[in-house]
């Protein structure tokens, strides 16, 4: 009888140890998932970029460029930090069009009667924002 009670105590201790180890593995897995979720998935990157790439092209009218500027300003205004902000720079545009990442105002707009080339530039540095549109270049044709 004495051996049977010791065997039950040992079996209980082993089950308790397995339970504690399993709990530790589960907590570790959840913590690792939270760390990995800080990076965006390919679908999230595509959805993020789609807001801006729909305006891309070689012969974009000024009114469409102004819509792009408003989209960028609205996007930058909704951000908590500037890490995902989008900047706009212009080449050969008169007047010059500039919006810095995180800015929510623009001093000049595109002239509606003119044609522009719009090119999205992507972040190439390794990190959680790699592949996101971070700047847009507008060139007056």
- Return d(Cα 49, Cα 28) in angstroms, integer: 33
- pLDDT by 10s per residue, the chain, length 141: 688 889 999 999 999 999 999 999 998 888 776 655 556 678 888 999 999 999 999 999 999 999 999 999 999 988 877 778 899 999 888 888 888 887 888 878 899 889 999 999 998 877 777 889 999 999 998
* pTM, full prediction: 0.68
- What are the boundaries of each domain within the chain? 1-38, 42-140
């Amino acid at each position: 009888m004495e051996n049977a009670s010791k065997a039950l105590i040992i079996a209980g201790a082993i089950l308790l140890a397995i339970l504690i180890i399993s709990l530790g593995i589960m907590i570790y897995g959840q913590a690792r998932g939270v760390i990995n979720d800080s990076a965006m998935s390919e679908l999230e990157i595509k959805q993020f970029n789609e807001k801006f790439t729909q305006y891309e092209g070689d012969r974009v009218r000024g009114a469409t460029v102004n819509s792009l500027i408003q989209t960028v300003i609205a996007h930058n205004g909704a951000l908590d930090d500037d890490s995902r902000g989008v900047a706009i720079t212009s080449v050969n545009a008169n007047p010059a069009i500039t919006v810095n990442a995180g800015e929510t105002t623009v001093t000049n707009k595109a002239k509606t009667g003119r044609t522009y080339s719009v090119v999205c530039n992507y972040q190439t540095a390794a990190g959680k924002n790699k592949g996101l549109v971070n700047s847009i270049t507008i060139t007056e044709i």
